[in-house]
Amino acid sequence: MIIVFKGRGWLVPLTGIASVAVCAIAGLKDPIIVWSTFGLSGLVDHYLGRKWNSAEGRLYQDLHTGDVVEVRPEHSFFWIPMQYWLYIKLAIAAACILFVVTRTTT
């Protein structure tokens, strides 16, 4: 399996794994709580992504052509900037919670 990230984008899956690990260490076994903490781990991604991706870029000048180029930091996971993973994690968590709540036990 290939994992694609730029900059500090590798923190996106790490925050999700850490949230589930915290639930396991705390002894929380209710799937609704576990998926809720997974969804809320996106808040960390959102905060850090906005902070890191909004940093000022550096200006570089090509000596041959004289063009000036601004290089900005980019922190993304699977080509999606870190700050947008909040919404993706919330959607995944909501779908999993909906599945848990609506499934029938026999």
- Rounded CA-CA distance 85/83 in Å is 6
Assessment of whether the complete model's pTM goes beyond 0.85? no
- Please list the pLDDT of the chain residue by residue as tens digits (106 residues): 787 888 888 989 999 999 999 999 988 888 889 999 999 999 999 999 999 888 788 888 888 888 988 888 888 989 999 899 999 999 999 999 999 888 866 5
